[in-house]
Structure 1
């Protein structure tokens, strides 16, 4: 069973924060100092009501930025899981829009993915995982993920996300609608 502290961080607080204030959180995560402060603040919040024995040190907690299938992606490197449903990595994938939002409520919410520990035998390739996606209150399993515990795991996770996301729509081709009168 997942430990409450890392589960609350990766599956509850981080996505909720990013969805509540998409542009603000993206700006803060883009600044290395603010990103570190924000991540540690949210990490501490995830353990706020837990007994001291259930709190986990944020060893390895960091952020890196990438481009995945033409989309800006914030990749969160999380403390090593010790149980199923805890995440090795998570990612906020930002869909770019040409139209600026007038209010925070109109902003496009990023998609949120996790690379989670799962049951299975570990082999020479690493530990078994699955790729998940949170959309509001709904958590979907998207299938087996790349083996964890390897130096190439983050890149393999981003490759898996590229497959899930697919290419960006080609906006260079005009759209024509046939209307019958």
Structure 2
């Protein structure tokens, strides 16, 4: 059974925060000190209603930035899972973070949004298409295909909807994170070409 502390962090609080204030969260995650402070705050928040014996130390909690098929992506390394449903990694994929950052003026810290749940923010139908996508490399049961490591599945949350896309790369290997990002690149494909085509007007 998945432990409530890491599960609440990865399946509820972190995606809730990422979608409610995407520009503010993107901005804080871009600063190494603010990113660590934000992640640790949310980690502690996920355990505040739990007894001490059910709280998990944030050992290994870490963020790095990558390019995935042309998209800026925040990769969150999590404490080692111990059960199916917990996650090894989270990828927050920004389709166009330039427009996102320009769209919102400087506002207070996004951690304020964790104080009062917003049911509408959890409805997939209310999530604009340009919000970041939230992928997970989840621990699962089964066997890995003749490779060392533990089995995983590539998951995604969109509002209240959780889906599994495909088996993920084996976890516990030095190349797990890189193979996870490559699997996301294969899933997402190249960014669409939004440039305006050149038009020549021919007058008769």
Within 5 Å, give how 1:27-176 maps onto structure 2.
Answer: 27-96=27-96, 99=99, 100-101=102-103, 108-121=130-143, 124-172=147-195, 174=197
Q: Go from structure 1 to structure 2 and tell me whether the alpha carbon gap of 1:97 and 1:53 turns closer, same or farther (over 3 Å shift).
A: closer
CA distance, structure 2, for counterparts of residue 106 and residue 152 of structure 1: 33
With structure 2 as the length reference, what TM-score do the two structures score? 0.80
CA distance, structure 2, for counterparts of residue 107 and residue 148 of structure 1: 30
CA distance, structure 2, for counterparts of residue 172 and residue 32 of structure 1: 33
Would you say the 8 A contact 1:116–1:129 is kept in 2? yes
CA distance, structure 2, for counterparts of residue 166 and residue 107 of structure 1: 16
Equivalent residue of 2:15, what SS? helix
CA distance, structure 1, for counterparts of residue 142 and residue 55 of structure 2: 26
- Which consecutive residues of structure 1, in runs of 5 or more, have no partner in the other structure? 177-181
Q: Which residue of 2 aligns with 1:179?
A: none
Q: Which residue of 2 aligns with 1:23?
A: 23
CA distance, structure 2, for counterparts of residue 128 and residue 175 of structure 1: 48
Question: How many residues are aligned here?
Answer: 176
Q: Go from structure 1 to structure 2 and tell me whether the alpha carbon gap of 1:32 and 1:98 turns closer, same or farther (over 3 Å shift).
A: closer
Bigger drift between 18-27 and 105-114 goes to 105-114
Would you say the 8 A contact 1:22–1:107 is kept in 2? no
With structure 1 as the length reference, what TM-score do the two structures score? 0.90
Would you say the 8 A contact 1:22–1:108 is kept in 2? no
CA distance, structure 2, for counterparts of residue 44 and residue 36 of structure 1: 12
Highest relative contact order (Cα 8 Å, sep 6+), 1 or 2?
2
User: CA offset at residue 141 of structure 1?
Assistant: 0.5
User: CA offset at residue 108 of structure 1?
Assistant: 3.3
Would you say the 8 A contact 2:72–2:97 is kept in 1? no
User: CA offset at residue 101 of structure 1?
Assistant: 2.8
